Amino acid sequence: MTTETAVKIDAKQVKELREKSGAPMGDCLKALQEANGEMEAAFVVLRKRGMASAAKKASRTTNEGAVGTYIHAGGKIGVLVELNCESDFVARTDDFQELLRDIAMHIAATDPRFVSREDVTAADLEREKDIYRAQAAATGKPANIIEKMLEGKLGKFYEEFCLLDQPFIKDQSQTIAQIVATKVAKLGENITVRRFARFKVGATEWTVAQTKPAAEEHKA
């Protein structure tokens, strides 16, 4: 990248990207330089780096954290979420608390059934596959096309019912996993959603979900 391109990045652009992404100022400047000053492209660069950073920290134990709540629709819907991190210090930061509130609000709005796709039970998965296979077979398509259709249907299923795969209600361009990854990159600690519960007045059932035991404790 040329020096001339870097010179064109002014403080206003860096501040705007900082507010949009939550990433450190230095990282925002580098992303803008890499993206030749294009804001959206720079945001994508930061998101990719955030996911990579989160992946590197995913094996680290998260024994600290906090429980957050969100009450919606005049007290008709309530959510409890446990969000974990590595230290009590990070759990008390504004960034962590903001993420906790955002996730609780998102759950209130979307009513996911699982934390992640790894938490979908075998019975639920097989039931969905049977339904999708029957729907695909009814089209008369060849077997190889049916399998591709099945993969697409399962992807939609995960996006609809798995919290981490869902597009964030405040920014549909990012999934919940990606907004978590952004905070991981900023705060420097692994962050995981351990469990949540969603209650609705008058409903005969309520949603309670948690990560599988193997995912609850990341042991080295």
Distance in angstroms (rounded) separating the CA atoms of residues 210 and 207: 10
**Could you tell me the residue ranges of all domains in the chain?**
3-57, 64-118+162-216, 122-152
> 171-185: per-residue pLDDT in tens?
998 999 999 998 998
Q: Per residue in 127-175, pLDDT tens?
A: 988 888 888 778 877 777 877 888 888 889 999 999 999 999 999 989 9
* pLDDT value of residue 158: 93
What kind of fold does domain 3-57 have according to CATH?
A: Helicase, Ruva Protein; domain 3 (1.10.8)
Q: Which fold has domain 64-118+162-216?
A: Tetrahydropterin Synthase; Chain A (3.30.479)
pLDDT at 22: 63
Cβ neighbours for 216, distance < 8 A, ≥ 6 positions apart:
194, 210
Lowest mean pLDDT among 17-21, 169-173, 184-188: 17-21
- Residue entry with tokens 């230290």: 87
Structure-block tokens of residue 54 = 């989160």
Q: Is the pLDDT of residue 190 over 50?
A: yes
Query: How do residues 48-64 score in pLDDT, each as one tens digit?
Result: 776 666 677 777 888 99
Read off the pTM.
0.73
Hunting for tokens 């949603």 — which residue is that?
Answer: 207
Q: Over range 7-18, report the average pLDDT.
A: 77
Check residue 52 and give its pLDDT: 64
Q: How confident is the model at residue 24 (pLDDT cuts 50, 70, 90)?
A: low
The token pair that represents 59 in the structure block:
């094996």
Q: What is the pLDDT of residues 60-106, one digit of tens each?
A: 888 999 999 999 978 999 999 999 999 999 999 999 999 999 999 99
Predicted confidence at residue 5, as pLDDT, reads 43
The pLDDT value given to residue 215: 41
- pLDDT given for residue 194 in this prediction: 96
- Tell me the mean pLDDT in the region 185-210: 91
**pLDDT(2) > 70:** no
Q: Which of these, 9, 51, 66, 87, lies nearest to 186 by C-alpha position? A: 51
Q: Which residue has the higher pLDDT, 80 or 126?
A: 80
Contact 54, 218 (CB under 8 A): no
